[in-house]
Amino acid sequence: MSECCENPEWVTGFVDTAAGRIPVVTADWSRRDRLGRLKCRLFNSFRMNYMVEPGIYALGSPDGQSPVLVTANYKL
């Protein structure tokens, strides 16, 4: 994620780690998130529009002992 540009609404800050500066994201659902979920359920064409740039994101206040969750986007 480029730090030169405006951050998405779901990025609440950054945490400095040995791997570099990592964006901190929120787990709260916004009105826009709920509308997007509804559009995906009603109209299949919106499912393949990925809006999150691949990378490492922090949730909450992780430290060196925090667990790591690895996921991937995929299309069927």
In degrees, to the nearest 5, what angle opens at C-alpha 32 toward C-alphas 28 and 34? Answer: 70
Q: What does the pLDDT read at residue 60? A: 87
Structural domain spans, the chain: 11-59
- pLDDT tens digits for range 15-58: 998 889 999 988 888 888 888 878 877 877 666 666 677 788 89
Between 40 and 61, the more confident residue is 61
- pLDDT tens digits for range 4-14: 456 777 889 99
Q: What does the pLDDT read at residue 4? A: 46
Q: What is the pTM of this model?
A: 0.62
Distance between alpha carbon 62 and the CA centroid of its chain, in Å? 15
